[in-house]
């Protein structure tokens, strides 16, 4: 039955199994929640800023008035970009912050919401995970409200589709994600006077510009996560939700999968989900059954033996305290982590978190797989002699 169905997809001129760059993808019927297509739907991966969908859900259901103002803390201003560059002491309404995170993908606004709604980032992220599980996204776990790469922060394509489907039932959420441009208004006390400030934000969702039926969505990107997207499109009374993780061709994947779904909706909804379903191991627990493409070695690489060995580059931060925290977390998981300071450009310093060294390539690969399994974090395997010249992952 599966082989017959796959031959049909080839006849349609697009085979998602061959033509998608994403590591994981789901196409869902918004009306019923039925999965029409899946590729590694339950594979746990870093979701980048698609995380902010859950931040928005929790905020909108907190019982707080959208007009309530929250105060920006010093901690919120220290989070890396993307951000609104808020200043300590500024006041911003919850509604303005929601526009900031969903249009401008502002990490600092996410922290302000987490602190203001949950009392602390730690408490808020615990509530995020709890809420996701209540919705049915039981293969997700969140440790921050913005989606910057962190240990134990992961989701799946299926979970993201479920979460976005749930979020779109909220009228305010729908209004926000449909908005192309907005401005975030803030106020600050300067010499005993309230001084207003406006920050323009533009929606990162390219589908809103010229893609027929686009209802809204949320993008995401980090070096570890690669390009991610979750969103909804409606045509002729049918609404489809698409979720992709770990893509190289973010918009190409999204559009091709949506066209595939709309063109053959009747056939897809009457059949079992097309694509590659989860294995038994994936259904009952986390499993990463293959390394990312840039971590897989050719036969030539397997034969390569450098006397200096190999090292794993896990992440790079601009703030040393964040690098130290991450290094301690990796050390607590049993990895030999250390920090190396590097210069990105004159006056611009970064801190690399690395693990190793390993005398053999196989040992480095096995550790890289272990890190991926334990934390969902994708790493670079570098020969020691060239490790100091590799580009950085901007947290």
The residues assigned a catalytic role are 49, 52, 105
Mapped onto helix, strand or coil, the DSSP state of residue 331 is helix
- The Cα-based distances of 119 to 65, 95, 187, 275, 322 in angstroms read 16, 18, 21, 42, 21
Q: List phi, psi (to 5°) of 376.
A: 75, 15
Compute the distance between CA of residue 22 and CA of residue 93 in angstroms, rounded to an integer: 36
Compute the distance between CA of residue 88 and CA of residue 285 in angstroms, rounded to an integer: 42
Tokens of 383: 């020969």
Contacts of 224 (CB under 8 A, 6+ apart): 46, 149, 315, 377, 378, 393
Compute the distance between CA of residue 55 and CA of residue 129 in angstroms, rounded to an integer: 10
List, in sequence order, the alpha helices (H) in 12-105.
Answer: 16-19, 52-60, 74-77, 94-102
Structural contact between residues 235 and 261, judged by C-beta atoms closer than 8 angstroms = no
Structural contact between residues 21 and 257, judged by C-beta atoms closer than 8 angstroms = no
Compute the distance between CA of residue 13 and CA of residue 7 in angstroms, rounded to an integer: 10
Compute the distance between CA of residue 318 and CA of residue 359 in angstroms, rounded to an integer: 29
Q: Show contacts of 191-199: CB within 8 Å, 24+ apart.
A: 197/90, 199/84, 199/85, 199/100
Tokens 């990312």 identify what position? 292
The C-alpha torsion from 382 through 385 and 388 to 389, rounded to 10°, is: -80
- The radius of gyration computed from the CA coordinates of the chain, to the nearest angstrom, equals 22
């Amino acid at each position: 039955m599966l082989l017959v169905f796959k031959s049909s997809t080839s006849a349609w001129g697009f085979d998602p199994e061959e033509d998608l760059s994403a590591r994981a993808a789901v196409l869902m019927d918004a009306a019923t929640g039925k999965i029409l297509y899946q590729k590694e739907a339950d594979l746990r991966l870093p979701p980048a800023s698609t995380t902010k969908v859950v931040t928005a859900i929790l905020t909108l259901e907190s019982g707080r008035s959208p007009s309530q103002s929250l105060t920006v803390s010093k901690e919120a201003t220290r989070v890396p970009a993307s951000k609104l560059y808020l200043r300590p002491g500024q006041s911003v309404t919850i509604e303005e912050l929601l526009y900031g995170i969903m249009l401008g993908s502002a990490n600092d606004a996410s922290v302000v919401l987490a602190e203001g709604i949950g009392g602390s980032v730690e408490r808020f992220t615990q509530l995020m995970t709890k809420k996701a599980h209540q919705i049915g996204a039981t293969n997700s776990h969140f440790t921050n409200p913005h989606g910057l790469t962190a240990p134990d922060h992961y989701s799946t394509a299926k979970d993201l589709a479920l979460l976005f489907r749930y979020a779109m039932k909220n009228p305010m959420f729908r209004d926000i994600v449909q908005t192309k441009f907005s401005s975030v208004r803030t106020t600050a006390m300067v010499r005993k006077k309230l001084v207003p400030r406006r920050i323009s934000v533009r929606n990162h969702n390219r589908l809103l510009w010229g893609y027929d039926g686009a209802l809204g969505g949320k993008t995401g990107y980090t070096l570890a996560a690669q390009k991610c997207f979750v969103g909804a499109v409606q045509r002729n009374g049918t609404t489809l939700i698409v979720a992709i993780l770990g893509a190289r061709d973010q918009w190409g994947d999204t559009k091709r999968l949506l066209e595939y779904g709309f063109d053959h909706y009747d056939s897809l909804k009457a059949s079992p989900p097309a694509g590659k379903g989860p294995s038994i191991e994936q259904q009952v627990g986390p499993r990463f059954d293959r390394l990312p493409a840039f971590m897989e070695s050719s036969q030539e690489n397997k034969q390569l033996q450098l006397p200096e060995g190999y090292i794993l580059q896990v992440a790079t931060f601009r703030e040393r305290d964040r690098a130290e925290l991450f290094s301690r977390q990796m050390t607590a998981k049993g990895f030999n982590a250390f920090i190396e300071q590097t210069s990105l450009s004159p006056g611009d310093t970064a801190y690399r978190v690395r693990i190793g060294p390993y005398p053999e390539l196989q040992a480095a690969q096995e550790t890289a797989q272990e890190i991926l399994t334990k934390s969902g974090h994708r790493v670079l395997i570098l020969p020691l002699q060239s490790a100091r010249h590799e580009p950085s992952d901007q947290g």
